[in-house]
Amino acid sequence: MTSTANRLAGHALVEALVAQGVDTAFGVPGESYLAALDGFHEHRDRIRFIACRQEGGAAFMAEAQGKLSGRPGICFVTRGPGATNASIGVHTAFQDSTPMVLFVGQVASDQRDREAFQELDYRQFFSPGTLGMAKWVGEIHDPDRVPEYVARAFHTALQGRPGPVVLVLPEDMLTQMTAAPVLPRVEPVQAWPSPDGLSELRQLLLAAERPFVIAGGSGWDAEAAAALQRFAENWQLPVGCAFRFQDCFDNRHPNYAGDVGIAPNPKLAQRIREADLVIAIGPRLGEMTTGGYTLLQAPRPKQKLVHIHAGAEELGRVYAADLMLQASMACAAKALETLAPPPSLRWASQSPAAHADYLGNFDAQAVEPLDMAQVVKTITRLAPDNTVYTNGAGNFAGWMHRYIPYHGLQHDGRTQLAPTSGAMGYGVPAAVAAALLYPDRTVVNIAGDGDFLMTGQELATATGYGAGRGAGKLISIVVDNGSYGTIRMHQEREYPGRVSGSDLFNPDFAALARAYGWNAEFLDRTADFEAAFQRALQADKPTLLHLKLDSDVSNTRGTLSAIRAAALVKAAAR
């Protein structure tokens, strides 16, 4: 599309998005960008605008869109409160390295710098930079430059370490006329690792006794994931996946060792500590993946470290690695699989042992009357292989991390949508977005009670736009333990028996879902879950399952009473 017709800048903006391959945008309407909304109406046969119920939910949907597609997710919000509400999704996209563009309406140009109604300085608010919320914040003052700014936003969001970009749209600019031509579709520049670096990596491998691979981060596609798998097979390497990037590697593969995240399998954590070479392919090596910078001590690990990352600014930022390679994941994995292994490998027995440890971590002591381990195992047994699983933040997610064997990247996108930023409320909007973007795929969201009520109103968005009514199903499971469980767990560890602010007073979640037009059931026994989930898989509309969990069941490895007792013993020994 190279239109040069004279039209509103708001219409040119929507044309520019269509040229970038965007067919869905999420947002909450506002008077500050009415001309852009009219552009969506003008081009409604090529792009749809999904009106959400709160800007945080809309931004989460756009972030999920970016994770699934590998292209920037698109969100539109109005000025002031709209932008501040959406900031949670921008921060999530930044920490998760997800490409995203947030368009924010702004006061008219002749009202700037007067603290006009809902006026903010978005460059300061989103503070672009290494520890900010966005990679770049731009403001368009000239309607003829709308296509230029959109193309630059896509370039910036996709290049190097992907991330979010914010474009600010003054209200009066959008209503001006422009004949500016739409620019071509942006494709990211792919960076290959240097031949010398690959040769050095091979020498490090040849000298190793106990190597280990940690894969993760963004920029993966199905081909890169398959190439990573072949590299691991060629060199018989155990592979763990970074925090909430468990779908980078097929968890059923005999080389898979488990997830390197919050409270990992103790045997896996010990294996990483005892490794003499760690090859990190893609992850930032943040706090969660490194166990608070203890599995790999910062700034100089005890293990030899190879760090491969798409962003030059990330290499050497925390860890003084022995070898740093800047490369896109689509290129890095394909380059690694070309490295020729020797005829025999000293560590050949380690991958089977690591995978056996992973499988052994599926064992758990039965919990009555509702056993979340059995619930999650039942879901994965019955759900299709390409099911998308989503969650927000809370102890409930531990059952997903431990018991869902993610089947690797699918050709139509990722199978795990979860915030490495620890943002509560992510799971429901992400599930709605996934169901709308890929109506033939089943989507399963698991949410805590506190987590769910932060964005649960987006069930209305799912109903309004027909999510979960096709071949794919949309199912949300609310785990209700009447508390902010993670905070309660930490309270019992640090201040045993002194509970403050972590109790919750919940509605009837099933009745609430039915009010939004969903099917819904209440369950409090493991024995009832399989039949209920089967009904959800056969339903002609979305389903919510309200699971009542004993408040003492804290996480996959312990109870609140056990945590409290251990803390009291520790306090008495001081």
In sign, the C-alpha dihedral spanning 323, 327, 328, 333 is negative
Given a contact cutoff of 8 angstroms between Cβ atoms, the answer to whether 539 and 469 are in contact is no
| Nearest CA-CA partner of 434 in 170, 289, 192, 247 | 247
Task: Annotate 61-72 with b (16+ C-beta within 10 A) or e (fewer).
Answer: bbbbbbbbbbbb
The answer on 443 and 531 residing in a single domain is: yes
Cβ neighbours, 10 Å, residue 267: 16
Within a domain: 190: no
Q: What is the DSSP letter of 397?
A: H
8 A C-beta contact, residue 333 and residue 225: yes
Q: Domain range for residue 278?
A: 195-360
The SS3 assignment for 241 reads strand
Considering the domain boundaries, does residue 112 fall inside one? Answer: yes
438 shares a domain with 484: yes
* Distance of alpha carbon 296 from alpha carbon 187, whole angstroms: 35
- Claim to verify: residue 173 and residue 218 sit in the same structural domain: no
**Helices in 236-387 by DSSP H: which ranges?**
266-274, 329-336, 350-360, 372-382
3-state SS string over 56-86? HHHHHHHHHHHHHHCCCEEEEECCCHHHHHH
* Residue the block writes with tokens 């999510």: 467
Q: Contact, 167 vs 25, CB < 8 A? A: no
Q: What is the CATH number of the domain that holds 524?
A: 3.40.50.970
Could you tell me whether strands 553-555 and 558-559 are parallel, antiparallel, or unpaired per DSSP bridges?
A: antiparallel
Within a domain: 142? yes
DSSP state string for 72-130: -EEEEE-STHHHHHHHHHHHHHHHHT--EEEEEEE--GGGTTS--TT---HHHHH--ST
Question: Which of 360, 395, 421 delimits the end of a domain?
Answer: 360
Is 186 domain-assigned?
no
**Residue 341: burial class (beta carbons within 10 Å; 0-12, 13-18, 19+):** middle
Q: Is 188 part of a structural domain of the chain?
A: no
Q: Are residues 81 and 38 in the same domain?
A: yes
Enter the pTM of the model: 0.96
- Local structure of 453: helix, strand or coil: helix
Distance CA 459, CA 230 (A): 41
Give the Cα-Cα-Cα angle 231, 233, 237 (nearest 5 degrees): 85
Structural domain contains residue 543: yes
- Asked if residue 399 and residue 514 are part of one domain, the reply reads yes
Q: Is 495 a domain residue?
A: yes
Q: Are residues 465 and 403 in the same domain?
A: yes
Same domain, 554 and 472: yes
Residue with the two structure tokens 């392919």: 281
Token look-up 């700034």 returns 299
Do 380 and 356 fall into the same domain?
Answer: no
Q: What is the pLDDT of residue 528?
A: 98
CATH number for the domain including 300? 3.40.50.1220
Q: How, if at all, do strands 323-326 and 388-391 pair?
A: unpaired
CA–CA–CA angle 366, 486, 395 (5° rounding):
45
Torsion, CA 39, CA 85, CA 292, CA 417, rounded to 10: -50
Q: CA of 238: how far to CAs of 67, 132, 360, 398, in Å? A: 25, 35, 16, 22
Classify 517 as helix, strand or coil: coil
Residue linked to tokens 């959109």: 150
Q: Maximum distance among all alpha carbons in the chain?
A: 79
Nearest to 247 by CA among 272, 215, 269, 223: 215
**Domain boundary at 309, 328, 360, which?**
360
- 406/461 same-domain check: yes
Domain boundary among 298, 326, 360: 360
93 within 8 A of 71, measured Cβ to Cβ: no
Q: Same domain for 34 and 123?
A: yes
Radius of gyration of the chain from Cα atoms? 24
Query: Is the peptide bond prior to 496 cis by the omega test (within 30 degrees of 0)?
Result: no
Any bridge partners for residue 137, and if so which?
166
- Residue-level pLDDT at 129: 72
Containing 410, the helix (H) or strand (E) segment is none
pLDDT of residue 132: 78
Tell me the C-alpha distance between 279 and 45, whole Å. 47
Strand partners, 48: 24
Reading the block at residue 196, the tokens are 């010398």
pLDDT in tens for each of the 574 residues of the chain?
A: 455 689 999 999 999 999 999 999 999 999 999 999 999 999 999 999 999 999 999 999 999 999 999 999 999 999 999 999 999 999 999 999 999 999 999 977 878 877 777 778 888 889 877 777 999 999 999 999 999 999 999 999 999 999 999 999 999 999 999 999 999 999 999 999 999 999 999 999 999 999 999 999 999 999 999 999 999 999 999 999 999 999 999 999 999 999 999 889 999 999 999 999 999 999 999 999 999 999 999 999 999 999 999 999 999 999 999 999 999 999 999 999 999 999 999 999 999 999 999 999 998 888 999 999 999 999 999 999 999 999 999 999 999 999 999 988 877 789 999 999 999 999 999 999 999 999 999 999 999 999 999 999 999 999 999 999 989 999 999 999 989 889 989 898 999 889 899 898 999 999 999 999 999 999 999 999 999 999 999 999 999 999 999 988 988 888 999 899 888 888 888 7
Provide the domain count of the chain. Answer: 3
Distance CA 148, CA 181 (A): 9
Domain annotation covers residue 381: yes
β-partners of residue 106 are 170
Q: Could you tell me if 173 and 51 lie in one domain?
A: yes
- Examine the domain organization and report whether 421 and 549 are in the same domain: yes
The backbone torsions φ and ψ at residue 134, rounded to the nearest 5 degrees and listed phi first, read -140, 155
